[in-house]
Amino acid sequence: MKAMILEDNDWPADALATIIGLANKKRRFSADDLSREMRRPPHPNMAGQAFSAAKALGVIEPVGYRTSTNKTRKNGVLRTWRRKINKEVAK
């Protein structure tokens, strides 16, 4: 098995920053929104990894699913996300 060589080493950090930006300006968003605002990832799985990283940091939380509008996804199902509200701060 060959190791994957990333041609765009900045993509993961840029994607995380873009997800944080989406969380701050949109009520709900998905990977379709990320793909509209970002360049293509070096590997297709990297978008999911970026959302997982944002969730692990406590920035976003899942809220549902919807059908993708991206033609390459052929009406596939996408998770929808929103900015995570800190309930302690919101009191």
Q: What is the mean pLDDT of residues 67-82?
A: 88
pLDDT digits (tens, 9 = 90+) for 7-28: 788 999 999 999 999 999 999 9
pLDDT reported for residue 50: 97
As a whole number of angstroms, the distance between CA 73 and CA 23 comes to: 22
Closest CA to 35 of 19, 20, 49: 19
pTM passes above 0.85:
no
Q: State the sign of the Cα–Cα–Cα–Cα dihedral 71, 60, 50, 20.
A: positive
Q: What is the mean pLDDT of residues 64-88?
A: 86
Closest CA to 57 of 15, 11, 4: 15
- Cβ pair 79, 50 in contact under 8 A: no
CATH topology of domain 11-90: Arc Repressor Mutant, subunit A (1.10.10)
Q: Does the pLDDT of residue 73 top 80, yes or no? A: no
Q: What is the domain partition of the chain in residue ranges?
A: 11-90
